[in-house]
């Protein structure tokens, strides 16, 4: 059976864009600092164009990836620039650690939460409140996004994930085969999560941040003035190039996000159970062509769709029969008796795209326009 197109008509697309434009304008104007309004407008138009193309063509993954990769690339110029303004360096000085002034990132939520609950101790040198990336503000964002998007966070909202997502589509051919069904691939994310959570609890330090984070290289790291810091820096360089660039290019899989990130593993275990949207397969339509398993970047498609699915849309776009789609609480259609115009418009996939793209917009607006301004000034 041939797939029916999910492309929407222009009036349908315009209705969805009209809903999106409210948060876009609110966050765009609020995020714009002095002299940044033109950049806020440029970024807003860019986002509107991508969302328009997603709805008009019915293809999710291609335009989502363009957005996701640009978000990742626009994150670090603003982050590094602000660090240098605040501290004068990308290095983590001792005073920052002593004064609890490190920006808190969502990846360490599973590592810091357990000691916080069990030992009543914050093991990360970040501010609890009063800073944009304070621990509480990040926890609030995480809870809200997890309830609405689950592990969709990892293909639509995270400002790191675009690295391995983009690199996983650079090569047309798979040069290193990583079998989704291999037991070690299925179990590695959970093992990694257990390791860093237990390790942090025993040592009462954020061991992932100190030793294993591949993003440290493009954010902040300790000065390699002693053996410990030099080893940590070498490890971070290897992880950055290995898991975010080289292995994703060779395997066409998101090696860091699919296997090694503790936050991703936690979202798979908890977020995907809570979130209302899920990718489902209609087995009566499946012709076992294997396209979904072959191309799933997140190692999530085996015999069934796993909870590690990031709702990236790749398999949905590639499936030749339309067997895969995004469902809302198990339903493919939420208003089955509505007139065709609204039934198509309010499909769960469209509602999910709207929610997830809005989430990514809210997270990215401020740093994206800040980086755009910096890059324009630089060139």
By CB under 6 A, name the binding residues for ligand SF4.
107, 154, 158, 160-161, 257, 261, 263-264, 279, 281, 286-292, 296, 298, 300-301, 305, 309-315, 318-321, 323-324
Nearer to ligand SF4, 310 or 361 (CB): 310
Nearer to ligand SF4, 24 or 279 (CB): 279
CB atoms within 10 A of CB 346: 17
3-state secondary structure of 107: helix
Shortest distance in whole angstroms from residue 358 CB to ligand SF4: 17
Shortest distance in whole angstroms from residue 62 CB to ligand SF4: 13
Nearer to ligand SF4, 160 or 365 (CB): 160
Question: What single string gives the DSSP state of each residue in 48-78?
Answer: HHHHHHHHHH---HHHHHHHHHHHHHHHHHH
Long-range contacts, stretch 104-107, CB < 8 angstroms, 24+ apart: 104/131, 104/133, 104/134, 104/135, 104/138, 105/133, 105/138, 105/215, 105/219, 106/138, 106/141, 106/142, 106/158, 106/263, 107/160, 107/208, 107/213, 107/215, 107/261, 107/262, 107/263
Q: Where are the beta strands (DSSP E) in 274-343?
A: 277-281, 324-328
Nearer to ligand SF4, 225 or 304 (CB): 304
Shortest distance in whole angstroms from residue 145 CB to ligand SF4: 11
Shortest distance in whole angstroms from residue 298 CB to ligand SF4: 4
Shortest distance in whole angstroms from residue 289 CB to ligand SF4: 4
Nearer to ligand SF4, 40 or 167 (CB): 167
Query: Which phi and psi angles does 320 have, rounded to 5°?
Result: -75, -15
């Amino acid at each position: 059976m041939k797939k029916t197109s999910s492309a929407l008509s222009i009036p349908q697309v315009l209705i969805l864009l009209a809903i999106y434009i409210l948060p876009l304008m609110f966050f765009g104007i609020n995020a714009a600092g002095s002299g940044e309004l033109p950049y806020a407008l440029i970024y807003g138009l860019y986002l509107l164009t991508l969302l328009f193309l997603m709805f008009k063509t019915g293809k999710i993954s291609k335009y989502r990836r363009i957005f996701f990769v640009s978000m990742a690339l626009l994150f670090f110029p603003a982050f590094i620039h602000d660090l240098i303004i605040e501290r004068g360096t990308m290095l983590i000085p001792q005073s920052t650690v002593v004064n609890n002034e490190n920006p808190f990132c969502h990846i360490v939520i599973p590592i810091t939460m357990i000691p916080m609950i069990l030992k009543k101790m914050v093991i990360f040198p970040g501010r609890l409140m009063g800073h944009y990336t304070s621990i509480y503000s990040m926890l609030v964002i995480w809870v809200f996004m997890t309830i609405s998007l689950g592990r969709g966070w990892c293909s639509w909202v995270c400002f790191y994930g675009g690295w391995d997502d983009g690199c996983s589509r650079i090569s047309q051919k798979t040069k290193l085969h990583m079998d989704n069904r291999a037991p070690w691939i299925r179990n590695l994310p959970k093992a990694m999560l257990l390791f860093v959570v237990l390790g942090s609890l025993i040592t009462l330090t954020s061991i992932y941040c100190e030793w294993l984070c591949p993003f440290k290289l493009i954010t902040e790291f300790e000065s390699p003035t002693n053996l410990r810091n030099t080893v940590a820096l070498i490890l971070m360089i290897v992880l950055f190039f290995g898991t975010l660039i080289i292995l994703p290019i060779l395997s066409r899989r998101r090696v860091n996000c699919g296997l090694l990130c503790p936050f991703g593993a936690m979202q798979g275990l908890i977020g995907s159970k809570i979130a209302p949207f899920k990718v489902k397969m209609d087995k009566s339509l499946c012709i076992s062509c294997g396209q979904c398993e072959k191309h799933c970047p997140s190692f999530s498609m085996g015999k069934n769709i796993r909870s590690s699915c990031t709702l990236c849309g790749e398999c949905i776009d590639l499936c030749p029969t339309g067997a895969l789609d995004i469902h809302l609480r198990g339903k493919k259609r939420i208003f089955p008796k509505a007139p065709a115009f609204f039934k198509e418009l309010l499909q769960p996939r469209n509602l999910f795209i709207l929610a997830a793209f809005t989430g990514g917009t809210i997270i990215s607006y401020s740093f994206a326009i800040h980086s755009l301004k910096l890059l324009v000034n630089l060139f």
